[in-house]
Structure 1
Amino acid sequence: MIIPGLRTYKVNEWARRPLVDFILDSLKAAGCKILHASQPDMAPFVVTFETPTAERIGIVAYAFLATRTPTKNRPSDERSFQLKYGGKASYGGENLHDLWQDPFGMFTTMLVGIDPTDGFCVAADPVLHSPTKFFIRMEFKDEHAEEIKSKGWHVWQRTKRSVSANGPLFETLAGADKAHFLDLVRFERAGRGLDPGDRLLLGERYMSQLPTSHPPMLISAAVEKDIHPLAKQFELSPDEIMDLISGASRLKMAVRGWVAEEHLRATLTDTTGVTHCERLDEEGGPDILIRYQNGPPLTLECKNVGRQTDRFGNPKVDFQRTRASKGDPCSRYYQPSDFDIVAACLHSISGSWDFKYIPSADLPAHSSCYGRINYNVRVNDTWSSQAANVFARAYAAKGVAV
């Protein structure tokens, strides 16, 4: 099978055959019918198959042998797989390789280390690693291998040894045994382009969040009483609604914002000294209103940080409205008086629903729009993870003692 734009590499058939066999045997054991499988002497490996529910899937697998080889000056519990095809001399000094992605979404790209002996594999994010250099190693630990073998599925985060100027400091790896390899394929298909935090969240909840290959489910009268009213209104199952959100990037971004606000509300409600907390639903207004120690109201704006940090490791917030008023380009930027405090949700980077806070008056001013806040905000050491301290600062700025 020839795929336009896919760069291929001549490899040792004998050395790579166990990797192809692992993939094919795993899919067959899951009840899949193999439609096409490339020969193991040419990488990456291309496989197309049909699932038991007649869903047709194609994968392009950059697959490498995962081993446990004790190495001098390396941890004794370390395992790894090396990304390499061919010899360095064959690259002509240009050792930078794009990991192909199907622009039409028909094929799913996988970057995976396979241990045929122990019967499991470990997948890294092919989008995050493209382009990649060859002859680099992806390390993981014995404990990760044991979790995969005992549970069949495991996800975890790994600190990146090499970080680009705006790249994330860590990545999320996913491991599966042979019985869950088809799940891993679906995981990579659903998780394409996700930031490490979202990739971790998807992996931790893959049983309920991964798109399925089942046909649309009709809601029977027997279970209708247990279905959420919105699912009844849409005439979709809850899983189909989640699939819809997962497959629409702008919809998912909007939902993610609301989810962050709900986690913020829950966090503040449990914060010592907060005597009132409610979500607001006013177009263009702040997101949360609180009272601290029965003081006057304070309003908060909740923002998700991006997946990439600056070169100092500080999370970044794109701090502007989606559009400006006609005739007033500066109206796209916030004013300090629009809310009292900004809460930055760190989930995209930390993988947890953690927040840092700062009074809006302490944010940097816009360089050309007087009285407006700069749109390029960094969550640096002027922010605090202690909400109560920031509440006190905001009250002090208002001349209120609590």
Structure 2
Amino acid sequence: MAGERLGIIAYAFLANTKLTKNRPDDEHRFQVKYGPDDGAMHELWQDPYGLYTTLFLGINPELGFFVGADPVLHNPTRFFISVEFKQEHVDTVIRNGWHAWERDRRSRGSESEPAEVLVGGSADNFLRYIRFEQEALGEDQGHRQFLADQVSTRPLNVLPPSTSVLVPSAARLHDLAREFEMSETEVLDLIMSARRLKMAVRGWVAETHLVRRLAVVPGVTDCTRSDEEGGPDVLLRFEGSRPISVECKNVLRERSAAGLVRVDFQRTRASKADPCSRYYSPRDFDVVAACLHAVTERWEFRFARTVSLDPHGKCSGKLSHLVKLDGRWSDSVQHVFRAVANG
């Protein structure tokens, strides 16, 4: 890190706690406002070249801590919204210097909003927070919390791996490494050091593991990854069936009170004209594959038929986003595919 320059764009707000009518006594918050409450949506800038890191956070100068929210999830944002968090989380931040948790939306009756992970730290961990936001850009909330937990144990003064390695023989060199005229290790180091490259690669990892898992299932043929914008992740046939579509969804890191793994089963964006467009329909794909990596730290999956999931309480023809991996989910994908094929 010696001599390294870091550029940040900080949307920073005062975090505090004060008694507010009809609000819990143990609540802290920061209010997002630059100017009047105009009701408009305001963009949060992200550097397209990745030289600057965007932060979206509240700072409590009296107690010496900050709490950061996901700048991608909040883009665009309205002014005068509040981001609330509990005293118990503040206590953990102050005691440990670093803490990540899932925001409690029940107190404001906003369960329909996407799950959101907040990250808090003490003043001496602010550089760690910048590093975290560099790495977590664009991640789903389960892996955002997973990365925050990993960052908390990683020393800040670790230099990138050395690229002074022997180049393997031409016979062993990957085509991409040969095209770039770099060793394979140098290519991997390049991905590791460029956050946008790493983000793009990580976004494909779960789907790649899923395709690898499904391709060797007896009865599965024509298993391919789909690049269709807004379409399912995987297409395949099972025992000569019609094409079966599979969507891969990452789970949240925190389990339910009953110990069940959870999936925030909705899109992060919705059409302004149709708020229900945030939610999936049973017709969007046949099978949901829940990737458990954020919980188990292994590339494991559980499967369920889309039509077996609960309907949305308010949006007709849509599925509930509050999904728990209960008895409807199975690690036996053949059983699920056979039900779809015979359905």
TM-score band, normalised by the shorter chain?
A: 0.5 to 0.7
- Give the match for residue 224 of structure 2: 284
CA distance in 1, matches of 2:318, 2:45: 33
**Corresponding position: 1:255 with 2:208:** no
- Give the match for residue 3 of structure 2: 54
Which one of the candidate residues 128, 146, 149 is aligned to 1:201? 146
**1:204 CA drift (Å):** 2.0
- Show structure 2 runs of 5+ residues with no match: 167-173, 175-182, 226-233, 250-265, 271-275, 309-316
**1:220 CA drift (Å):** 8.9
2:32 corresponds to which letter in structure 1? L
2:330 corresponds to which letter in structure 1? A
Helix, strand or coil at the partner of 1:387: coil
CA distance in 1, matches of 2:67, 2:269: 26
Helix, strand or coil at the partner of 2:103: strand
Whether contact under 8 Å (1:158, 1:171) holds in the other structure is yes
2:14 corresponds to which letter in structure 1? L
**1:284 CA drift (Å):** 3.0
Helix, strand or coil at the partner of 1:344: strand
Q: Deviations over 1:131-185 (max 9, x none)?
A: 2222221100111111111221111112555879xx9522111111112100101
Q: Deviations over 1:60-92 (max 9, x none)?
A: 212111112122321121111111234x3xx6x
Helix, strand or coil at the partner of 1:56: coil
Distance 1:257 1:390, change over 3 A: closer
TM-score after normalising by structure 1: 0.53
CA distance in 2, matches of 1:194, 1:396: 32
Whether contact under 8 Å (1:95, 1:133) holds in the other structure is yes
CA distance in 2, matches of 1:101, 1:351: 32
Distance 1:192 1:396, change over 3 A: closer
1:99 corresponds to which letter in structure 2? L
CA distance in 2, matches of 1:318, 1:217: 49
Helix, strand or coil at the partner of 1:205: helix
**Corresponding position: 1:121 with 2:66:** yes
Distance 1:60 1:210, change over 3 A: farther
TM-score after normalising by structure 2: 0.61
Q: How does 1:308-347 map to 2 (within 5 A)?
A: 308=268, 311=276, 314-315=279-280, 342-345=287-290
1:205 corresponds to which letter in structure 2? Q
CA distance in 1, matches of 2:293, 2:282: 11
Q: Deviations over 1:280-300 (max 9, x none)?
A: 89763989999xxxxx9x999
Helix, strand or coil at the partner of 1:284: strand
1:284 corresponds to which letter in structure 2? T
**1:202 CA drift (Å):** 1.8
Which one of the candidate residues 300, 303, 314 is aligned to 2:247? 303
CA distance in 1, matches of 2:98, 2:202: 25
Whether contact under 8 Å (1:168, 1:309) holds in the other structure is no
- Give the match for residue 55 of structure 2: 110
Which one of the candidate residues 235, 239, 243 is aligned to 2:185? 235
Whether contact under 8 Å (1:61, 1:112) holds in the other structure is yes
Whether contact under 8 Å (2:56, 2:70) holds in the other structure is yes
Distance 1:156 1:60, change over 3 A: same
Q: How does 1:47-86 map to 2 (within 5 A)?
A: 53-86=2-35
CA distance in 2, matches of 1:238, 1:170: 32
- Give the match for residue 217 of structure 1: 162
CA distance in 2, matches of 1:210, 1:300: 45
Q: How does 1:131-142 map to 2 (within 5 A)?
A: 131-142=76-87
Helix, strand or coil at the partner of 1:111: strand
Question: How many aligned positions are there?
Answer: 284
Q: Deviations over 1:173-207 (max 9, x none)?
A: 11111121001011112222223233222212225
Distance 1:174 1:278, change over 3 A: farther
Whether contact under 8 Å (1:209, 1:242) holds in the other structure is no
CA distance in 2, matches of 1:136, 1:207: 29
Structure 1, 103-112 or 154-163: larger mean CA deviation: 154-163
**1:214 CA drift (Å):** 2.6
Q: Deviations over 1:357-389 (max 9, x none)?
A: 128xx79xxxxxxxxxxxxx9766999733279
- Give the match for residue 357 of structure 1: 304
Helix, strand or coil at the partner of 1:199: helix
1:189 corresponds to which letter in structure 2? Q
**1:314 CA drift (Å):** 4.0
CA distance in 1, matches of 2:341, 2:51: 57
- Show structure 1 runs of 5+ residues with no match: 1-51, 222-229, 266-275, 291-295, 321-340, 364-376
- Give the match for residue 372 of structure 1: none
Whether contact under 8 Å (1:154, 1:174) holds in the other structure is yes
Whether contact under 8 Å (1:197, 1:347) holds in the other structure is no
- Give the match for residue 385 of structure 1: 328
